[in-house]
Structure 1
């Protein structure tokens, strides 16, 4: 037996310049039931022979030394029948800082079973097989001074874990642990590994196939299988087809928390909690392997969702058809004379007269109905072009992310809710992708309703609000594309592709505001070119804010946005004739001086609304600048909230002004308005209780993970998808029906506000 060690010892001590003929190798038979301590040095080594033992459980070798030095460590070499494992005591573990290494005097390693091929055989069930094992442990050092080394061989009695049973293990950077789970014939094909830790020590949890060796050190754990970092909570979804017939579940503690805190974040942070530990890093972990949804439950959830949404869609379609034919607009006058545009430009005198009117009616700003119709369809053509060219790279990138996850096993790439992530069709988190189907269904439904409405109300010249069906179609297409892009985002939700999920939300918010303004200002409304240019700039700023969300970006945005609000306020107040309005004000000042009457607004309602709107926007900007240093929001979410708040504010103002001017809210608008409020209220409850948080690190995000709440398949964010889709549909329907009460009213009697 000494001959087996001779080549190794010769290499070691020849390098050190020690005469190997002076080395004494003490060979002893050791016991599995007791720990032994030896005093060794450069000339006295120990070889321990552990006799053959029959047990299916692997053994764990513990080695510790109170006085071994890092520069002259004790080498522990464990020989099995077909493998050799070695490490040193003390174990030096590299931290995230190159100039800082932690020393651990207590070490231990589980010896991967030589007979794992027999154990994972389909005929084996836990505890029914015994196999022979024997070990040879060599202890050596180059230290000229005597050092003590203790060795203990411990049987891992809870190595084979079972379904639906909780287990606890203790790990440290120098003492990793792993267990084995076997897929039995009657076991589910997909299981979830729930992991909980008592403290916030950073861990790496890995699932590897049933072959030896097991990669269980900080350096190599990421080379095999799937893995994720956790500190307090984690979960991995494992499928039989990927790890048949079973898998190793490995736990390794990190020497510092850099991989679990802002130190590893791709986002710029104003402050971090990064620290290095100089204490013994040991944490207790509780884990449980539990079944996920069965194939039958999977089918019920997906097919049930399609059937439910389809049934709701059919009911709403029938309701829309009935209301179009028997509701408010069914009583409209179908006879309308031929429509012609008035292309005669307004003279300077006419513009001055227009600006001096304190009460305006729609006929002044609806002189070109055919041009208005064409401009509204420009929105549709623009959004279709944007959707095609924007969606193609998004789909490509989303699929590429999924392939990288499958190839690398790195589950830190994506911010899934791992406690409710059901794989399917090659995707890691199919339920969050599939729950976006509601946006597509309701977007198609809305476009169908718009087409049907066009058969009832044609383009008009003198009555009602000028129709803008192209803009309505653009809103419906935006809803469809939002569903597709949100699905692509949820293939791998992360910091780098969050804008995929929000870009068309920006567009829908802006389209709602444009639609409301266009109702009473059709001739002077923003064109599709200028609208989408502004949206493009907003998306660009959102990208900069996500990639480098420093305070400078927020300040630049705040200044730019304030300037935009001022310019738009002038354009709205002066009916797009800003130069003429300023000239008229200058003329009044020269004629009448700086009197109070000169500066009193002619259209006070419009002026008060602009003051309120600007005050709200200024307040939101200040709030964003205040909460950002506390890492309570990110730039993309803040911008989305800003646009949504403005859309809601415009809707409230428009509805209020209708009532103030004696117009009524028709039955259809009341119904759709109440339905939208109910849908948004319910959806907001689930949106405000997130299961992930991509503004922090993956490990920190997992602390927010939650179990499924609907059909055992959908979590709260899925429910947000399923409720916000009809919420958007009802909102669009409310905007479309809002002016049905004045469909036959002469435009010269419809006020502008």
Structure 2
């Protein structure tokens, strides 16, 4: 009795001492004199004795019971704060056969949340601990209790052929009332997955499942597919290396390995080189909430510590592991891609040979006619009397130049052509604004450009050298824009890919996981490779334009009258810009597909706006070369479009204020452009604009009610306003989530409308479309139809959650390497190339028609 009483007194003194009340302690512990050193030593010794006694007394009051337990036996027991139960198990582990061991626990007592039971599983190389009821947290730290828990034990590898391993399950609690529980340890016979063999199982937030897969010989890459008929509850599929512990709960499954959320389907491609043990775990965890998969948001608890009923969140799933494609398929895919686009180079070469042969035959006929009909001393009345002899000579010179590095022999260069070229090169710094070559003393601009019926000669009066330099600025500007735009894009997508590889978060990028073939650090090499067509066909178009440019330049150097006075004025700067834009579209589309997601989608569409805008400008330039927009104005407008594209992606989703502002600006821009086009650029926005508008309305609509002077232009502009106002109303009413595609649809609709108007007016004016242009138009229309079919398949979408996007994933359809979106890349690149050829060749029938006989529309 003395020791416990003294211990109590000593503990009281210790507490007082810790509160720095030294004087009170000394008075309490020693009332009969000063405290000596001997007393202090004795005090410390008795304090140590007291602590040891209390520990022994506490240990004597807690009972520890160890039981030898067996597999597949259910143990019903009760645990309190006074007793602890240890279940001892042993099992034989074979190196050639892997069996899983699963622990299943049920708490049967009510009110166990206040004092849960702690289960600790001690293994050879790992310790697993969890409490029951298991409390899992969701969004906003909401708590969900689970009274039924099932966990699979980690299986450490064994070096021997057969080994007996022991593990222990410790059960304890701090509840003094006692909690009743059930414990069952069972073997998982189907713990190892087999290749191409489907396995079904059930999982829940408190009963995650994982299985082991070993790479068989000859398989270096495998694709793991998990499917379910149930959309919800939301789940997570994870691939983890063989190590302990295994992270198989909602709050830790993202710690290591690769993972992605899923509703009905998930797929991850796994490479042998990433797993030193040639094996991995497939972990499936059901989440406590569905918000991550786009499900409804559950009610918010009234108090932060309030527990929410978890409900029944069991989910039945299937898992199958299949070998991925071999290296031979990669090679076949790359050869297939190169073969398709190299065939266009070959086809272009054959067409060029045929055209050159026709030109040579034409030269032979004309030359024979010229020799027979020529009389010395007599000159033709017209330069066209004997045919365009200079054009035929140009063909011969061009064929010879192809054989001798595109350089004609010096003996065939005239002094006039040399001096003319030198003069042109000396004027390389001329700008259009330096002077205006339309002499006002001959005819005023307002008179010429406001005639009822205009010809191309009326709008092609400026100096050709100045216009050539003006339109070359398009090419140099877009090349500069492309370099400065592409470099940060490449850096950003490399960073995205690095983050995906390091964190293992497959939800960052929206791939078609069922057909995503990795190569090196790239997760979807096939989606990147299929963009090669844009680059190769863009380069081919530049070569075709270069060929025409060289022929035209030589004709100008010879002062060929056809080149000087006939046909649509040939300015190739916009064509060069279009080819460069097509190549940049391929590069940026490839960058986007490195990691397609919500934040970088505008990379894939920016140069689509450029291409659509350049095509409209080129169509307008054909009949209006003198008044077409400058490169600086055009690119400034395109920059504004891209600016609104970014704003729409970031702020446009459901933001009615943004849509109102954009729709108003869209309508105002349409009206402003319509006025500019109707008056051929003679309309000015200045302080007198309101007065002129009122005057026009009064004179044309009230005073005499005269109809429009330019009927054709009015029809085009009315149709254009109807289309654009309708698109603006659609955007305002529907507020589509994909603003970038909506903006691209506006550009494409305007391009198609103007192109259709151009073709109709061309035929109406008595012009014809040559065979080559007609073939290009029909071929391009068919290819665009197929391309759009594959585009709208929608294999993934960043407008939804990653789990919802994966529901649209599909298998490869070509060579087990390319999916539907890759086919869209192939066909759309071919269709764009064909569209460019249409713009290049559609007016070839006018090459021999004088410009004062070609109508403007």
Question: What TM-score comes out, normalization by structure 1 length?
Answer: 0.90
1:529–1:330 CA distance, 2 compared to 1 (3 A): farther
Pair 1:152 & 2:184 matched: yes
1:320–1:676 CA distance, 2 compared to 1 (3 A): farther
Pair 1:711 & 2:815 matched: yes
2:745 is aligned to 641
Query: Displacement, 1:327?
Result: 7.7
Query: Displacement, 1:285?
Result: 1.1
Q: Is the 8 A contact 1:362 1:521 kept in 2?
A: yes
1:7 is aligned to none
The one of 767, 773, 789 equivalent to 1:669 is 773
Pair 1:309 & 2:416 matched: no
Pair 1:213 & 2:228 matched: no
Distance (Å, rounded) in 2 between the aligned partners of 1:656 and 1:258: 53
The one of 612, 616, 629 equivalent to 1:509 is 612
2:224 is aligned to 193
Distance (Å, rounded) in 2 between the aligned partners of 1:593 and 1:410: 65
Pair 1:597 & 2:705 matched: yes
Q: Is the 8 A contact 1:489 1:500 kept in 2?
A: yes
What secondary structure sits across from 2:60 in the alignment?
helix
Pair 1:66 & 2:108 matched: yes
1:327–1:521 CA distance, 2 compared to 1 (3 A): farther
1:179 is aligned to 211
Q: Is the 8 A contact 1:707 1:715 kept in 2?
A: yes
Q: Is the 8 A contact 2:449 2:459 kept in 1?
A: no
1:329-385, Cα deviation, whole Å (9 max, x unpaired): 989947599999971454898344345422111111111132222111110011000
1:40–1:694 CA distance, 2 compared to 1 (3 A): same
Distance (Å, rounded) in 1 between the aligned partners of 2:639 and 2:57: 73
1:721 is aligned to 825
Q: Is the 8 A contact 2:446 2:682 kept in 1?
A: no
1:18–1:604 CA distance, 2 compared to 1 (3 A): farther
Distance (Å, rounded) in 2 between the aligned partners of 1:258 and 1:288: 27
1:23–1:560 CA distance, 2 compared to 1 (3 A): same
2:37 is aligned to none
1:733 is aligned to 837
2:99 is aligned to 57
Pair 1:299 & 2:357 matched: no
Query: Displacement, 1:586?
Result: 6.0
1:122 is aligned to none
Taking the TM superposition and a 5 Å limit, the aligned residue runs for 1:209-288 are 209-244=241-276, 245-261=278-294, 278-288=310-320
1:194-225, Cα deviation, whole Å (9 max, x unpaired): 11123221111111111222111222211111
What secondary structure sits across from 1:49 in the alignment?
strand
Which is greater in Rg?
2
Taking the TM superposition and a 5 Å limit, the aligned residue runs for 1:355-434 are 356-368=450-462, 369-434=464-529
CA RMSD of aligned residues (A): 2.8
What secondary structure sits across from 1:390 in the alignment?
helix
Question: What TM-score comes out, normalization by structure 2 length?
Answer: 0.79
Say which is worse superposed, 289-298 or 369-378, in terms of deviation: 369-378
Distance (Å, rounded) in 1 between the aligned partners of 2:740 and 2:264: 28
Pair 1:440 & 2:483 matched: no
Q: Is the 8 A contact 1:464 1:747 kept in 2?
A: yes
1:227–1:589 CA distance, 2 compared to 1 (3 A): closer
1:86 is aligned to 129
Distance (Å, rounded) in 2 between the aligned partners of 1:334 and 1:589: 55
Pair 1:450 & 2:545 matched: yes
1:469–1:177 CA distance, 2 compared to 1 (3 A): same
1:285-304, Cα deviation, whole Å (9 max, x unpaired): 11110111111121111122
2:200 is aligned to 168
Query: Displacement, 1:324?
Result: 6.6
Distance (Å, rounded) in 2 between the aligned partners of 1:656 and 1:195: 55
What secondary structure sits across from 2:745 in the alignment?
helix
Distance (Å, rounded) in 2 between the aligned partners of 1:517 and 1:281: 62
2:671 is aligned to 566
Q: Is the 8 A contact 1:204 1:227 kept in 2?
A: yes
1:619 is aligned to 726
1:509–1:42 CA distance, 2 compared to 1 (3 A): same
Query: Displacement, 1:185?
Result: 2.0
The one of 639, 646, 650 equivalent to 1:543 is 646
Q: Is the 8 A contact 1:198 1:283 kept in 2?
A: no
Query: Displacement, 1:311?
Result: 2.2
What secondary structure sits across from 1:457 in the alignment?
helix
What secondary structure sits across from 1:151 in the alignment?
strand
Q: Is the 8 A contact 2:72 2:187 kept in 1?
A: no
Aligned residues: 713
1:37–1:492 CA distance, 2 compared to 1 (3 A): same
Pair 1:36 & 2:75 matched: yes
Asked which structure has the greater RCO (Cα within 8 Å, sep 6+), the reply is 1
Pair 1:202 & 2:228 matched: no
Query: What 5-or-longer segments of structure 2 have no aligned partner?
Result: 1-52, 298-307, 364-386, 392-415, 425-434, 557-562
Q: Is the 8 A contact 1:65 1:148 kept in 2?
A: yes
What secondary structure sits across from 1:51 in the alignment?
strand
Query: Displacement, 1:555?
Result: 1.8
Distance (Å, rounded) in 1 between the aligned partners of 2:330 and 2:354: 36
1:57-111, Cα deviation, whole Å (9 max, x unpaired): 120001111325222101111111232211000000000122x210100101111
Distance (Å, rounded) in 1 between the aligned partners of 2:712 and 2:185: 85
Pair 1:577 & 2:682 matched: yes
